[in-house]
Structure 1
Amino acid sequence: MPSPSAASAMDLTPIDKSASILVTGHRGLVGSAVVRKLRSLGYANLLLRTHSELDLTSQSAVDAFFDAHKPNYVILAAAKVGGIHANNTFPADFITINIQIQTNVITSAFKHNTAKLLFLGSSCIYPKFAPQPIPESALLTAPLEPTNEWYAIAKIAGIKMCQAFRIQHSFNAISAMPTNLYGPNDNFHPENSHVLPALLRRFHEAKTNIVDEVVVWGSGTPLREFLHVDDLADALVFMLENYSGLEHVNVGSGKEVSIKELAELIKEVVGYQGKIVWDSSKPDGTPRKLMDSSKLATLGWEPKISLKEGLEDTYRWYLENVVAQQ
């Protein structure tokens, strides 16, 4: 059995432009950004399948796909995701579906000799009261935030699967833990979305319907870090070529903003003229969540898109692709 240090010394050669790359979840927030990035760099041999074309929760279907196509690289971005309300309402779905997807893709990638797999986690894997900024070493050191523990436990299982296959089989599987993401192809559902797209939609609809006030859940005091998904996609391609280690890697912007400040900035970007009312009877979630992304910075990567610039880009996409379709 190779040691973790031996396993981390795996090949770090650039990816050949002709390599076949499977991007799961390619129509989602992360997957679509990864596809945009890869295509912009000249990668044309991308393996993309919708859920109806390939059910990732079916072990037999996933194995048959890998047997037929034998992808050289895999970016595992498919997941069942949602905000506090969705996690609380559908806990069985969040833990079961995510574990099924991860298990099927990781085991098939190993079985069919994929050169490298990159697994996408989430910052919610860390304890509710983790040290700030949150280092990779904080994983499994204290209890999770109860409102999304089902999703978090599934993602932790994915990290550990990658580590286990690396240790036992020298399989080149790595994990990236992005902070809160936003951007084109985000989920703008009024109930099952994360805070940033939910607020953007709410302010837009209030502006359109000439509503005097917008009620926002919580106190507005929690601090959050946001990363534009195009920055994440850039980081993931960077990691495929420059990182091969046992430990997962945080990917963040390094900047935090209060939910109140975020709401005010979205209000400005949307052009809403009414007032914001805070409903403190609703849950805040984790009080603060800033990632320590110094490990990735040491490797030579840093984000490029500011929050305001990213919000303006996201609002344009929302108007062109959500509002225009209504």
Structure 2
Amino acid sequence: MLWPATHLDFDGINDYVNCGNAPAVQISGNAITLEARVKFKSFAGSFNDGSIINKEQNSPDYGYMLRAGSSGIVNFNLGNGWWNELSSPSYSVTTGVWHHIAATYDGSTMKIYVDGVLVASQVRANIYFSSTNQNLMIGSWSNIGRYLNAAVDEVRVWNVSRTAAEIQHYMNCELSNPTSQTGLVAYYQFNQGIDSADNTALTTLADSSATAYTATLNNFTLNGTTSNWLSGSSVVTGSTCSILSSNDFAFNFENVKVYPNPSSGIFQLQIQEEVQLEVYDLMGKMVLQKNVQAGAAFFDLSQYASGVYILKATNVFGDTIVSKIVKE
């Protein structure tokens, strides 16, 4: 049976998508958001080499980029004559699973989110980053190279800074009415082709934003199970989210901080309001439950096996957020 493809596989050797240099993506100023869903097959030797979204000029350094590489580090860069750089902790992303990665700048603070969780943040006030005439690339940098060995879906470029609530709400679905989304200047949904089939005729990538600038695929085999249009992304055609309401902004991941993460057992929780805390293993078994008052608190998973756990925090109004934590 033939299945519609849901994403594009990059081979890490020479595959890349050239998105051109439409005026809309020549972003300059003090606000930007970059987003993509990525499943890494392996990491480049350095995060400098794993280009996800790249519009980069060097000497002088202008443009913007989102990268990931060695030890699961995510890197976000803005150029205003030199690079203003923010990197996540090691192992923020792993291979073999889909991650949503986002980076934002609001004129004050650079931030990186992985799966809706804020993993890196640094105050960088008044970076007025500059545009460049280099083309926007997916899976490579502007001089061709630094290739990405990963599956990619849902690439979004904004000339506004998206909030944590917006990132969390829309990270696992398609944007509805993309041509009317404020600040959305490039949106590649990757809803083309047939899974693992002969897609050699499909050498372009549609832009669903109002910019509607068609990108060009370069060096993809477009036949078989690698370097081709494939299925398997959880975001499929038509999986749109509801419109975000004002209530969705009240309680989000920026209200709750957990560190260190990963931890050998003792986690510290920093919370801005009273919550009920629950921790589950990946089989759905609850391993911890406690009420936590606003401020700082600790919880201990030392007695449990190493691995990924799910943290659930519910405030007094019944609003809930869910996050991943790692017990080493």
TM-score, with structure 2 as normaliser? 0.29
TM-score, with structure 1 as normaliser? 0.29
More helix by share: 1
